[in-house]
Amino acid sequence: MKTYLDIVKNILENGEEKADRTGTGTLAIAGSIFEHDMAKGFPLLTTKKMPFKVMASELEFFIKGLTDKQWLKDRNCHIWDEWCDPQKVPYAHDEETKKKMSEERDLGAIYGFQWRHFNAPYQNYNSDYSGQGIDQLKKVIESLKNNPNDRRMIVMAWNPCMIDKMALPPCHYGFQLTVINGRLNLLWNQRSVDTMLGLPFNISSYALLLHLLAKETGLKEGKLVGFLADVHIYTNHLDGVKEQLTRDPNLYPLPQIKTDKFTTIFDWQYTDTVLENYQSFPGIKFEIAV
């Protein structure tokens, strides 16, 4: 997608050096917008190969409100391997702590917990939270079905009362839904944007969520918009950045997704959605900054 690569080019040309929590170092800009019309295809990058099933399984994990890292590992999704609930293993950079963080399976009150049980007292990954907290996802779906003109359909992962109970404070911290002329639009907000490794996942994850919500409500898929704040490239990603920018984003058409097996988003499994006609350049290895 040219829209994504334009953001990358802007950082490379105009970004300024900035230190960061991980100690890696970044080039950063203040503010950018990503926009995509879902009618043009599913926004999965074609300038490097993307693991659709990994992203989709993480989204199912969020939708279900789960916090057990092992659930993801069992599905060969390793996005969260390096992190855990800081109440169980306080975050640090040394190798011994990193090992303990990797071995701890509880992620704490992260994204999906806030989507489905906002502000419920958090205990453990295997506790039963049925009926606890505010089920924000359920509420916005009810609004979409009963009052689609509502301008208050917002789901927040950012909960200041529980930041210290999360493996990571949410980077993409909230999303809003709006319906215009029968088309469902999803707009998300992101405080911190790892442009090369994280943003491609964020784009496709929210695009898949938009797709599922459209199926849930019978609406047409509309626009996907990301409001991005601290938009950065890690300095150890620069070689891969230059490689990716040599690749033609128009060489391969965007793929499509299809979810024939669907009753409700709450019963959806990531294997129910099929990626069709995906072609891309080879993958590029970007090291994760912990």
As annotated, the binding site includes: 21, 151-152, 191-194, 202, 232-234, 289
Specify the length of the chain in residues. Answer: 290
- Total Cβ atoms within 10 A of residue 193: 24
Contact between 30 and 229 under an 8 Å Cβ cutoff? The reply is yes
Question: Which residue in the list 77, 84, 161, 171 is annotated as catalytic?
Answer: 171
How far apart (Å, rounded) are the C-alpha atoms in residues 34 and 242? 20
H-only helix segments in the chain: 2-14, 52-63, 69-73, 95-103, 111-117, 136-146, 199-217, 238-245
Those residues whose C-beta lies under 8 Å from the C-beta of residue 20, and which sit 6 or more positions away, are 26, 232, 234, 289
> What is the CB-side half-sphere exposure of residue 137 using CA atoms within 13 A?
22
How far apart (Å, rounded) are the C-alpha atoms in residues 137 and 252? 34
Annotate 223-257 with b (16+ C-beta within 10 A) or e (fewer).
bbbbbbbbbbbbebbeebbeebeebebeebebbeb
Beta-ladder partners of 223: 37
Three-state DSSP class for 141? Answer: helix
Distances (CA, A) of 138 to 111, 142, 150, 242, 273: 15, 6, 15, 43, 21
How far apart (Å, rounded) are the C-alpha atoms in residues 174 and 214? 18
Q: Which residues are annotated as a binding site for dUMP?
A: 21, 151-152, 191-194, 202, 232-234
Told to judge if 161 belongs to the known catalytic residues of this protein, a careful annotator would answer no
Catalytic residues: 171
